[in-house]
């Protein structure tokens, strides 16, 4: 099998981390190397085949061969985005080979138009069959199974799809789920025949029954350290048993338990054997009964084609009846007593000639991930059959679609018309959609929109303020190397226009937010049919969600995290919005842990990031503001939540104490800073808290999550020590405009001449053990010291026009020393505390807060989103057909649920949801506004606000209230906010707190106050 042919130390060329960086965080280096040793054959270059090929090529296998004996027809243009009308009559594989090969220059891609004979097939590690006959599937299935070649059979027929996997009689899954191994710190281990491990109670151990673990740093019961993996039985969130330790030495303290990923062996049946005794992956638990029906349907379809030489005609009753008869005969000849679902099978037959881009995008992403699993052994494969359908995209009353409406029209949309009819195609054409973001999901959405014909009579608007970077190319498939540093949205629009010249697409380069509401104003939103988010941050998602709720527009939301993806459809007046439920905030690391008591590499990396921000950004910013703003110090002393002494110390440090004159001064500063951070501060910490220190309860201070550190001794011959000095010196030089010097030998020679002051521990130095102590220590301001620093600081004139450049952290530029500093600083800190170090790859992931990403998941979620768009375009008045989705391609897991209905609230007998509001037309004074709500709605307004501005409250000073009562509402807003109303603002939004007629506090909708 392909995944057993190459080990992680293969001789393949080094992986291009600049290109594959986001995917590497999903798959890892070993899996990527195994993929780079795998040759893949993809047979059938229809819409499904091109989706699979695109994702596999982007993934980085050794080579891809595209096989097809069919020629391009007009219907192929429904979803084959690399074919054009000029390609009609040409071989499909040859026609699209050039564009597919341009996706990734590391993956040789070629076309093959001959037959799939035995010798040819044996050249490949993985074979993918699409749009193949049953006879071909059986023949290739036997050949691949006998020769230990992975086989994937995939097909889409209208709104139905089928996937089959056979990875051989003995396939090793190296990593079932791809999650990082969890670890926990140990509080106790009992000596018993059924030993119980108790972890410290600051966090759950996160392990499951049957997991395997190993141990390190255990004191006392040292037999466990670096032991062979032990199977555990979970007893609770902080405890588990590990078997007999009664003969081990007695546990003393400490230790870390770490989960071990164990390989899993799978035995696949051949296609022929599995066809008769299928095992299914459940995709939608509401459709479990349909899997057997669809297994039968695809087999019956092969028989129909063999008999008639064609697929059933779209929505043709005679063909559908013949198809059902064939299915019934197959069922009666089988071993099972399957009850035939005639309605489902009729529908299957009537739309089986359809070819839908969203289905191909979804299934193409899933299949491509299975190819990668076969190549690498990473993640659990589909075992062995999977059926997915989106039949709820059809209207409940299927008589709306007739044979006449669905008959081929000789257009590129015939594959879609075959399923939904020509009238629905007109609806899609007239849509006006706003795609927010042109990154990975945005590229996929735009491609899907173009294939579906959305906006050919209406318009698609796309906006993205970012430029294309090299790391984007691995999954943002519309971009090529020559597009790097070009606009994402403009480039994407040009490429999409080539895929479908009919699409009306307009590209913007704006950020969505309050600052662009003059562009994305009332006229813009009111003209839209919907919004599709393709964003990478929660704040922007929440903002767009609020805009969609305000303008009552549908929102298609999606996101990915490695192999995980989610989709959400927000339906006006029916569903809750995106903002109705949010993930809990990310758990932050206590400051005192970062400063003095780290116990994990995540802590040292965050410490290094904070160090970078302080040394090379914040200090320079403070000094620059002091040099350019005469009132900077006085304003700083008045700012709430700011430690003025820290700010002034940083300015003094930047301008006097640590200001370099040349690069040698930068090296001397870096060497002394190394000494302070990794030797002196640790010595002071141990002076305050010696290794044998006891707490008031008699426990060792340095125990549990507190790891006892040790100071480091600088060694110029230690590469890590010199790495820090080289990086820190060059960053210091960059701040002050001093030329850089990358010569390590030169830096080493300068370092050896630097005089480092001898450290003497100080008594009376307070070191906080908790964040609350830290806050108390920082609450007192030494005003005398503040005055002293103010007097010592030189003026801008005295510094002769000095300019400092604050450095913005940039993780993806390997020449700027930013990551060099982070990696060295973090790993030195880790060495202080005996924490295992992290390589540059892992350090960049954590410190750069990189979101792992892979093209396969992006393809799947974009496809699922567009299936929901079909439903929105129909104008559905119920949530029942809609699906929110969550997928994890690694497991694989697929979960779908109906969107949650918008919660209903009530005031004074009136029911309302987040989609409701009070509409007030025309200007009125504040007094009139208050009286209007009392008379019309029976509500007494107790507080009235706009955003953060309080316009009126019952406890407001009487004089102030009287002053505002006679002003119009817009005048009140201008006076309180001290901002003028922009010309594009046609309405104001007010939030109310009200009492009803009984004087009870009630929750009410917001107010849309129309100015004209």
The residues carrying an active-site annotation are 592
Give CA–CA dist 559/349, Å, rounded. 34
Decide: 84 and 451 in contact? Cβ < 8 Å: no
Give CA–CA dist 204/11, Å, rounded. 41
Give CA–CA dist 483/491, Å, rounded. 7
Residues with Cβ within 8 Å of residue 37, at least 6 apart in sequence: 2, 5, 6, 10, 12, 62, 125, 375
With b for 16 or more beta-carbon neighbours within 10 A and e for fewer, the 309-336 pattern comes to eebbbbbbeebbebbbebbbebbeeeee
Decide: 225 and 217 in contact? Cβ < 8 Å: yes
Q: Tokens 């062979």 map to which residue? A: 228
3-state secondary structure 41-93: EEECCCHHHHHHHHHHHHHCCCEEEEECCCECCHHHHHCCCCCCHHHCCCEHH
Cα three-residue angle 77-79-84, rounded to 5 degrees: 30
Q: Tell me which H or E stretch contains 305.
A: helix 290-308
Give CA–CA dist 699/28, Å, rounded. 41
Give CA–CA dist 582/990, Å, rounded. 24
CA dihedral of residues 138, 144, 146, 150 (deg, nearest 10)? -120
How many CA atoms lie within 13 Å of 124's alpha carbon, on the beta-carbon side? 29
Q: Please give the C-alpha separations between residue 810 and each of 19, 485, 818, 844, in angstroms, as whole numbers.
A: 16, 15, 7, 10
Residues with Cβ within 8 Å of residue 53, at least 6 apart in sequence: 42, 45, 64, 66, 100, 109
Give CA–CA dist 65/39, Å, rounded. 8
Strand, coil or helix: 965: helix
Give CA–CA dist 93/90, Å, rounded. 9
Q: What letter does residue 691 receive in the DSSP assignment? A: T
User: How far is C-alpha 956 from the chain's CA centre?
Assistant: 46
Give strand pairing partners of 886: 566, 895
User: What are the strands, taking DSSP E only, across 392-476?
Assistant: 432-436, 459-463
Q: Tokens 């985005």 map to which residue? A: 81
């Amino acid at each position: 099998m392909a995944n057993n042919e190459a080990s992680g130390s293969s001789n393949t060329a080094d992986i291009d981390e600049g290109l594959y960086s986001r995917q590497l965080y999903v798959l890892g280096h070993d899996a990527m190397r195994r993929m780079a040793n795998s040759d893949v054959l993809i047979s059938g270059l229809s819409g499904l085949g091109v989706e699979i090929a695109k994702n596999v090529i982007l993934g980085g296998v050794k080579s891809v061969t595209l096989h097809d004996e069919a020629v391009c027809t007009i219907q192929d243009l429904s979803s084959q985005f690399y074919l054009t009308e000029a390609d009609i009559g040409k071989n499909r594989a040859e026609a699209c080979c050039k564009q597919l090969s341009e996706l990734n220059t590391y993956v040789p891609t070629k076309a093959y138009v001959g037959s799939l004979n035995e010798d040819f097939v044996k050249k490949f590690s993985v074979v993918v069959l699409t749009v193949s006959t049953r006879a071909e599937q059986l023949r290739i299935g036997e050949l691949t199974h006998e020769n230990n070649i992975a086989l994937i059979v995939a097909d889409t027929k209208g709104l139905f799809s089928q996937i089959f996997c056979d990875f051989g009689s003995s396939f090793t899954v190296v990593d079932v789920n791809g999650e990082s191994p969890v670890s926990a710190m140990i509080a106790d281990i009992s000596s018993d025949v059924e030993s119980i491990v108790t972890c410290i109670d600051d966090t759950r151990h996160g392990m499951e029954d049957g997991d395997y673990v190993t141990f390190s740093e255990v004191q006392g019961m040292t037999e466990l350290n670096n032991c062979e993996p032990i199977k555990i039985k979970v007893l609770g969130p902080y405890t588990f048993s590990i078997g007999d330790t009664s003969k081990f030495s007695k546990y003393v303290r400490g230790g870390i338990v770490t989960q071990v990923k164990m390989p899993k062996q799978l035995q696949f049946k051949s296609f022929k054997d599995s066809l008769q005794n299928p095992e299914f992956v459940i995709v939608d638990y509401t459709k479990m009964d349909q899997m057997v029906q669809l297994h039968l349907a695809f087999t019956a379809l092969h028989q129909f084609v063999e008999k008639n030489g064609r697929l059933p005609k779209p929505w043709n009753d005679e063909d559908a009846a013949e198809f059902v008869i064939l299915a019934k005969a197959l069922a009666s000849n089988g071993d099972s007593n399957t009850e035939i679902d005639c309605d489902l099978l009729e529908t299957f037959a009537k739309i089986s000639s359809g070819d839908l881009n969203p289905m191909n995008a979804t299934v193409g992403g899933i299949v491509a991930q299975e190819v990668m699993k076969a190549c690498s052994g990473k993640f659990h494969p589909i075992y062995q059959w999977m059926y997915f359908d989106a039949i709820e995209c059809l209207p409940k009353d299927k008589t709306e679609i007739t044979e006449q409406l669905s008959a081929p029209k000789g257009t590129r949309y015939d594959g879609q018309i075959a399923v939904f009819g020509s009238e629905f195609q007109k609806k899609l054409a007239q849509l006006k959609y706003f795609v927010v973001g042109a990154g990975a999901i945005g590229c996929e959405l735009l491609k899907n929109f173009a294939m579906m014909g959305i906006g050919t009579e209406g318009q698609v608007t796309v906006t993205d303020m970012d430029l294309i970077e090299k790391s984007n190319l691995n999954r943002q498939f519309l971009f090529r190397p020559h597009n790097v540093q070009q606009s994402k949205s403009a480039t994407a629009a040009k490429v999409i226009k080539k895929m479908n010249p009919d699409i009306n697409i307009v590209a913007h380069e704006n950020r969505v937010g309050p600052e662009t509401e003059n562009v994305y104003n009332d006229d813009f939103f009111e003209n839209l049919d919907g919004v599709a988010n393709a964003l990478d941050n929660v704040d922007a998602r929440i903002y767009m969600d609020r805009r969609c709720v305000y303008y009552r527009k549908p929102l298609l939301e999606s996101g990915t995290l490695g192999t995980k993806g989610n989709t959400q459809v927000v339906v006006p007046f029916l569903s809750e919005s995106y903002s109705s439920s949010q993930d809990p905030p990310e758990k932050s690391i206590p400051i005192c842990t970062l400063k003095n008591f780290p116990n994990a590499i995540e802590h040292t990396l965050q410490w290094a990031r904070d160090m970078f921000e302080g040394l090379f950004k914040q200090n320079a910013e403070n000094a620059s503001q002091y040099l350019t703003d005469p009132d900077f110090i006085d304003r700083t002393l008045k700012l709430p939540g700011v430690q003025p002494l820290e700010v002034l110390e940083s300015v003094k440090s930047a301008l006097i104490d640590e200001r370099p004159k040349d690069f040698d001064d930068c090296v001397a500063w870096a060497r002394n800073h190394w000494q302070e951070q990794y030797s002196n501060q640790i010595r002071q910490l141990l002076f305050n808290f010696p290794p044998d220190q006891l707490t008031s309860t008699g426990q060792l201070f340095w125990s549990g999550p507190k790891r006892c550190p040790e100071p480091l001794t600088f060694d110029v011959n230690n590469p890590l020590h010199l790495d820090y000095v080289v990086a820190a010196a060059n960053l210091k030089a960059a701040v002050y405009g001093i030329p850089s010097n990358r010569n390590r030998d030169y830096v080493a020679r300068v370092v050896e001449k630097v005089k480092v002051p001898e450290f003497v521990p100080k008594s009376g130095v307070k070191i906080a053990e908790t964040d609350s102590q830290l806050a108390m220590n920082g609450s007192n301001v030494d005003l005398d010291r503040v005055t002293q620093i103010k007097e010592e600081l030189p003026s801008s004139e005295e510094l002769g026009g000095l300019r400092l450049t604050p450095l913005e952290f940039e993780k993806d530029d390997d020449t700027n020393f930013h990551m060099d500093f982070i990696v060295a600083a973090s790993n030195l800190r880790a060495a202080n505390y005996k924490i295992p170090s992290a390589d540059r790859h892992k350090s960049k992931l954590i410190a750069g807060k990189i979101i792992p990403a892979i093209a396969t998941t992006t393809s799947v979620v974009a496809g699922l989103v567009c299936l929901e768009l079909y439903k929105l375009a129909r104008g559905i008045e119920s949530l029942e057909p809609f699906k929110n989705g969550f997928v994890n391609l690694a497991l694989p897991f697929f979960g779908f649920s109906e969107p949650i209905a918008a919660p209903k609230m009530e005031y004074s007998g009136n029911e309302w949801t987040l989609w409701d509001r009070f509409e007030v037309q025309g200007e009125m004074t504040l007094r009139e506004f208050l009286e209007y709500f009392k008379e019309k709605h029976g509500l007494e307004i107790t507080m009235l606000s706009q955003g953060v501005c309080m316009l009126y409250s019952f406890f407001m000073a009487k004089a102030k209230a009287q002053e505002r009562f006679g002003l119009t509402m817009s005048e009140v807003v201008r006076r309180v906010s001290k901002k003028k109303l922009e010309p594009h603002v046609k309405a104001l939004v007010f939030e109310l707190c009200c009492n009803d007629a009984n004087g009870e506090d009630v929750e009410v909708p917001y107010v849309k106050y129309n100015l004209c």
